[in-house]
Structure 1
């Protein structure tokens, strides 16, 4: 855990990582509103963030400047190169800065994220097919960090069936 001298430098209380197409107008939108109303300084990207392939310096700074990261894993999270790169930086900040990371499994089983099965397997098949453009080492880091994040204690939100 970060020392109190480091914790005084946090710009945000919470950084939210999520696949916008899956959750922005529903779960993460409501969660952001609730946190904001409670006075929790929360970073949530805008509709414009994520249009490119590389994480911008400002987004990396927001991750580094957050005490807590909430990673909302949804069915199509692994389709997004942006989300996977964001997760790499979040997990690095956990190790180097003592940032707290809490996964939220939104309509996806934690074991799917951990083992990269189902939609996560399909996403990785696509990423691996473009391997030279992405890089096999980068894909390996994504897989390792998805597993690490899925092993953290968090919340599992399921649909009622």
Structure 2
């Protein structure tokens, strides 16, 4: 399988500003959207189609590829991309909770959204029920138990809290729906949210 690098569409005219976290230097609102997903589940289908739809609408998207992430340097870039994004889109698939990286990203997105009212989380329930993400069924709760056995309660508890919090947000339920139409609707909603934010800022 060919390796795919992180996909990003930069705005060359974006102004440099300080990050929302701790005053670290960053590229400000470099990205409009950060896509959080488990690569083996959705990278070659739903997430790829959504990325290109958003990108085609002129939306700056950061699409992380967890399968090729190596070293601390990439990790720092990843956290900065989350800091610098306006809208977070976690894509919940059946094996999402098996990825510690997905859960780390999600917990950090929740932390960032709590610090700033400018940050919005728009969850997509691809082939799971919100009850699964709220840990009310075995699908995600079993995966979290495995993480807890390996990493300990303190490490995993924030991931559990992030899952249940995000699952309570109104999002897109894609089960049994035509994905092409849903991707267009999601792209329209994201565009609308970004337009409202720009208007508010102005």
Settle same-fold status: TM greater than 0.5.
yes
2:149 maps to which residue?
129
2:156 maps to which residue?
139
Q: Is the 8 A contact 1:54 1:82 kept in 2?
A: no
1:157 maps to which residue?
174
Secondary structure at 2:52 match in 1: helix
Q: Is the 8 A contact 1:17 1:70 kept in 2?
A: yes
TM-score after normalising by structure 1:
0.85
1:20 to 39, 43, 55: 39
Structure number with greater Rg is 2
Cα distance change on mapping 1:117 and 1:53 into 2, 3 Å = farther
Structure 2 distance, partners of 1:53, 1:11, is: 21
Q: Is the 8 A contact 1:16 1:44 kept in 2?
A: yes
Structure 1 distance, partners of 2:72, 2:132, is: 24
Give unpaired runs (5+ residues) of structure 1. 1-5
Q: CA deviation at 1:45?
A: 1.3
1:71 maps to which residue?
90
**Highest RCO, 1 vs 2 (Cα 8 Å, sep ≥ 6):** 1
1:58 to 77, 86, 94: 77
Secondary structure at 1:56 match in 2: helix
Aligned residues: 152
> What are the superposed Cα offsets for residues 6-50 of structure 1, whole Å, 9 maximum, x if unpaired?
99x311110000011111011000000111111100000136544
Structure 1 runs, 4 residues or longer, greater than 6 Å off? 52-55
Q: Is the 8 A contact 1:107 1:158 kept in 2?
A: yes
Q: CA deviation at 1:159?
A: 3.1
Q: Is the 8 A contact 2:31 2:84 kept in 1?
A: yes
Cα distance change on mapping 1:118 and 1:54 into 2, 3 Å = farther
TM-score after normalising by structure 2:
0.69
Q: Which moved more, 1:46-55 or 1:28-37?
A: 46-55
Q: Is the 8 A contact 1:115 1:147 kept in 2?
A: yes
Q: How well do the aligned residues superpose, as a CA RMSD in angstroms?
A: 2.4
